[in-house]
Protein backbone atom coordinates (compact mmCIF):
# COMPACT_ATOMS: atom_id res chain seq x y z
CA UNK A 1 0.00 0.00 0.00
CA UNK A 2 1.19 3.49 -0.90
CA UNK A 3 1.11 5.31 2.47
CA UNK A 4 3.03 8.48 3.25
CA UNK A 5 3.34 10.25 6.59
CA UNK A 6 3.64 14.03 6.77
CA UNK A 7 3.10 16.72 9.38
CA UNK A 8 -0.59 17.35 10.02
CA UNK A 9 -2.29 20.13 8.05
CA UNK A 10 -5.46 22.08 8.91
CA UNK A 11 -7.25 20.41 6.00
CA UNK A 12 -6.83 16.99 7.74
CA UNK A 13 -8.86 18.02 10.80
CA UNK A 14 -12.36 16.79 9.87
CA UNK A 15 -11.09 13.53 8.37
CA UNK A 16 -9.33 12.82 11.65
CA UNK A 17 -12.40 13.60 13.72
CA UNK A 18 -14.29 11.11 11.55
CA UNK A 19 -11.57 8.45 12.05
CA UNK A 20 -11.71 8.97 15.83
CA UNK A 21 -15.49 8.46 15.75
CA UNK A 22 -15.38 5.44 13.48
CA UNK A 23 -12.70 3.52 15.40
CA UNK A 24 -15.51 2.96 17.97
CA UNK A 25 -13.13 2.77 20.91
CA UNK A 26 -13.13 6.43 22.02
CA UNK A 27 -15.94 8.09 24.00
CA UNK A 28 -16.96 11.71 23.40
CA UNK A 29 -14.67 13.06 26.16
CA UNK A 30 -11.70 11.24 24.62
CA UNK A 31 -12.54 12.55 21.15
CA UNK A 32 -12.85 16.09 22.53
CA UNK A 33 -9.46 15.71 24.23
CA UNK A 34 -7.85 14.37 21.03
CA UNK A 35 -9.35 17.28 19.03
CA UNK A 36 -8.08 19.78 21.62
CA UNK A 37 -4.51 18.57 21.07
CA UNK A 38 -5.01 18.75 17.29
CA UNK A 39 -6.16 22.36 17.62
CA UNK A 40 -3.23 23.27 19.88
CA UNK A 41 -0.90 21.94 17.18
CA UNK A 42 -2.69 23.56 14.24
CA UNK A 43 -3.25 26.95 15.90
CA UNK A 44 0.10 27.43 17.67
CA UNK A 45 2.94 26.79 15.25
CA UNK A 46 5.56 27.73 17.85
CA UNK A 47 4.51 25.22 20.55
CA UNK A 48 6.61 22.06 20.81
CA UNK A 49 4.68 19.97 23.37
CA UNK A 50 2.42 18.19 20.88
CA UNK A 51 3.66 16.97 17.51
CA UNK A 52 1.17 15.55 15.03
CA UNK A 53 1.40 13.75 11.73
CA UNK A 54 -1.10 12.24 9.29
CA UNK A 55 -0.92 9.09 7.16
CA UNK A 56 -2.05 9.74 3.59
CA UNK A 57 -3.02 7.13 0.98
CA UNK A 58 -2.36 7.23 -2.77
CA UNK A 59 -5.61 9.23 -3.31
CA UNK A 60 -4.42 11.91 -0.89
CA UNK A 61 -6.95 10.82 1.77
CA UNK A 62 -6.11 10.85 5.48
CA UNK A 63 -6.20 7.25 6.79
CA UNK A 64 -4.64 7.70 10.22
CA UNK A 65 -2.80 10.04 12.53
CA UNK A 66 -0.47 10.15 15.47
CA UNK A 67 0.11 12.64 18.31
CA UNK A 68 3.30 12.50 20.37
CA UNK A 69 5.61 14.76 22.33
CA UNK A 70 8.41 15.03 24.84
CA UNK A 71 7.31 14.32 28.40
CA UNK A 72 7.76 17.60 30.30
CA UNK A 73 10.79 17.87 32.62
CA UNK A 74 12.44 14.70 31.29
CA UNK A 75 15.63 14.15 29.33
CA UNK A 76 14.59 12.24 26.27
CA UNK A 77 11.38 10.51 27.42
CA UNK A 78 8.57 10.81 24.86
CA UNK A 79 4.86 10.04 25.11
CA UNK A 80 2.71 8.60 22.36
CA UNK A 81 -0.52 10.43 23.15
CA UNK A 82 -2.83 9.19 20.40
CA UNK A 83 -2.66 6.92 17.41
CA UNK A 84 -5.65 5.98 15.28
CA UNK A 85 -6.14 4.33 11.90
CA UNK A 86 -9.26 4.40 9.74
CA UNK A 87 -11.04 1.05 10.45
CA UNK A 88 -11.05 0.00 6.77
CA UNK A 89 -7.26 0.42 6.71
CA UNK A 90 -6.47 -1.30 10.00
CA UNK A 91 -4.19 -4.35 10.10
CA UNK A 92 -2.50 -3.28 6.86
CA UNK A 93 0.58 -1.73 8.40
CA UNK A 94 -0.56 1.92 8.62
CA UNK A 95 -0.15 1.97 12.43
CA UNK A 96 3.38 0.57 12.06
CA UNK A 97 4.24 3.21 9.44
CA UNK A 98 2.99 5.98 11.77
CA UNK A 99 4.99 4.53 14.66
CA UNK A 100 8.13 4.23 12.50
CA UNK A 101 7.72 7.90 11.60
CA UNK A 102 7.48 8.89 15.30
CA UNK A 103 10.52 6.78 16.20
CA UNK A 104 12.56 8.23 13.38
CA UNK A 105 11.61 11.82 14.33
CA UNK A 106 12.25 11.44 18.07
CA UNK A 107 15.52 9.56 17.73
CA UNK A 108 16.78 12.62 15.80
CA UNK A 109 15.88 14.54 19.01
CA UNK A 110 17.92 12.16 21.23
CA UNK A 111 14.91 10.25 22.56
CA UNK A 112 15.78 7.49 25.04
CA UNK A 113 12.35 5.98 25.39
CA UNK A 114 8.77 6.13 24.10
CA UNK A 115 5.84 5.42 26.43
CA UNK A 116 2.29 4.53 25.42
CA UNK A 117 -0.58 4.26 27.86
CA UNK A 118 -3.74 2.32 27.25
CA UNK A 119 -6.65 0.73 29.03
CA UNK A 120 -6.94 -2.91 30.07
CA UNK A 121 -10.49 -3.09 28.65
CA UNK A 122 -11.17 -5.83 26.09
CA UNK A 123 -11.84 -3.25 23.36
CA UNK A 124 -8.14 -2.25 23.54
CA UNK A 125 -6.83 -5.81 23.12
CA UNK A 126 -5.80 -5.11 19.51
CA UNK A 127 -4.05 -1.93 20.64
CA UNK A 128 -2.05 -3.80 23.29
CA UNK A 129 -1.10 -6.43 20.71
CA UNK A 130 -0.04 -3.66 18.36
CA UNK A 131 2.38 -2.23 20.94
CA UNK A 132 3.87 -5.62 21.82
CA UNK A 133 4.27 -6.47 18.14
CA UNK A 134 6.16 -3.22 17.63
CA UNK A 135 8.77 -3.77 20.32
CA UNK A 136 7.07 -2.27 23.38
CA UNK A 137 6.81 -4.15 26.66
CA UNK A 138 4.51 -3.67 29.59
CA UNK A 139 6.36 -1.47 32.08
CA UNK A 140 3.67 -0.76 34.68
CA UNK A 141 0.02 -1.17 35.43
CA UNK A 142 -2.12 1.05 37.65
CA UNK A 143 -5.02 -1.07 38.82
CA UNK A 144 -8.53 0.47 38.59
CA UNK A 145 -7.07 3.73 37.21
CA UNK A 146 -9.76 4.67 34.66
CA UNK A 147 -12.56 3.05 36.66
CA UNK A 148 -13.01 -0.03 38.85
CA UNK A 149 -11.76 -2.99 36.82
CA UNK A 150 -10.20 -0.76 34.12
CA UNK A 151 -6.42 -0.53 34.62
CA UNK A 152 -3.97 1.90 33.02
CA UNK A 153 -1.30 -0.17 31.21
CA UNK A 154 1.96 1.61 30.40
CA UNK A 155 4.07 0.28 27.55
CA UNK A 156 7.68 1.28 27.03
CA UNK A 157 10.13 1.07 24.15
CA UNK A 158 13.80 1.90 24.70
CA UNK A 159 16.13 3.35 22.06
CA UNK A 160 19.77 2.34 22.17
C1 LIG B 1 -3.92 0.36 17.32
C2 LIG B 1 -4.00 0.79 15.85
C3 LIG B 1 -3.52 2.23 15.71
C4 LIG B 1 -3.09 -0.15 15.04
O5 LIG B 1 -3.09 0.29 13.69
P6 LIG B 1 -3.05 -0.77 12.48
O7 LIG B 1 -2.83 0.01 11.23
O8 LIG B 1 -4.24 -1.66 12.56
O9 LIG B 1 -1.74 -1.62 12.87
P10 LIG B 1 -0.74 -2.44 11.94
O11 LIG B 1 -1.47 -2.92 10.73
O12 LIG B 1 0.51 -1.67 11.74
O13 LIG B 1 -0.37 -3.63 12.92
C14 LIG B 1 -1.14 -4.78 12.97
C15 LIG B 1 -0.95 -5.43 14.33
O16 LIG B 1 -1.70 -4.68 15.32
C17 LIG B 1 -2.51 -5.60 16.07
N18 LIG B 1 -3.89 -5.48 15.56
C19 LIG B 1 -4.39 -4.46 14.81
N20 LIG B 1 -5.70 -4.68 14.54
C21 LIG B 1 -6.03 -5.82 15.15
C22 LIG B 1 -7.24 -6.56 15.26
N23 LIG B 1 -8.39 -6.16 14.67
N24 LIG B 1 -7.23 -7.72 15.98
C25 LIG B 1 -6.11 -8.14 16.56
N26 LIG B 1 -4.90 -7.48 16.48
C27 LIG B 1 -4.88 -6.34 15.78
C28 LIG B 1 -1.92 -6.96 15.78
O29 LIG B 1 -0.78 -7.15 16.58
C30 LIG B 1 -1.52 -6.81 14.33
O31 LIG B 1 -0.54 -7.72 13.94
P32 LIG B 1 -0.99 -9.11 13.20
O33 LIG B 1 -1.87 -8.68 12.07
O34 LIG B 1 0.32 -9.72 12.77
O35 LIG B 1 -1.72 -9.89 14.25
C36 LIG B 1 -5.44 0.66 15.29
O37 LIG B 1 -5.90 -0.65 15.54
C38 LIG B 1 -6.44 1.66 15.86
O39 LIG B 1 -6.63 2.74 15.32
N40 LIG B 1 -7.09 1.27 16.96
C41 LIG B 1 -8.12 2.13 17.57
C42 LIG B 1 -7.53 3.33 18.24
C43 LIG B 1 -6.60 2.98 19.39
O44 LIG B 1 -6.81 2.05 20.14
N45 LIG B 1 -5.53 3.79 19.53
C46 LIG B 1 -4.53 3.61 20.59
C47 LIG B 1 -4.90 4.35 21.84
S48 LIG B 1 -4.68 6.09 21.62
Q: Is the CB of 94 under 6 A from ligand 1?
A: yes
Report if pTM > 0.95. yes
The model's pLDDT over 22-72, given as tens digits with 9 standing for 90+, comes to 999 999 999 999 999 999 999 999 999 999 999 999 999 999 999 999 999
Q: Is the CB of 134 under 6 A from ligand 1?
A: no
Helix boundaries (H) for the chain: 13-22, 28-43, 94-108, 125-133
For atom 44 of ligand 1, which residue has the closest CA? 127
Residue 96 has a pLDDT of 98
How do the domains of the chain map onto residue ranges? 4-158
Q: Is the CB of 133 under 6 A from ligand 1?
A: yes
Contact 31, 17 (CB under 8 A): yes
Residue 160 has a pLDDT of 84
**The CATH number of domain 4-158 is 3.40.630.30:** yes
Q: How far apart are CA 40 and CA 36, in angstroms?
A: 6
Residue 1 has a pLDDT of 77
Amino acid sequence: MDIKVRKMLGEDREAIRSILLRTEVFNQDEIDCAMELIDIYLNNPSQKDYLLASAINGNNEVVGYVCYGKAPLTHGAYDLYWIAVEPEYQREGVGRILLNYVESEITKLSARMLLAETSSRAVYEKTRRFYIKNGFSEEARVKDFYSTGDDKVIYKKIFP
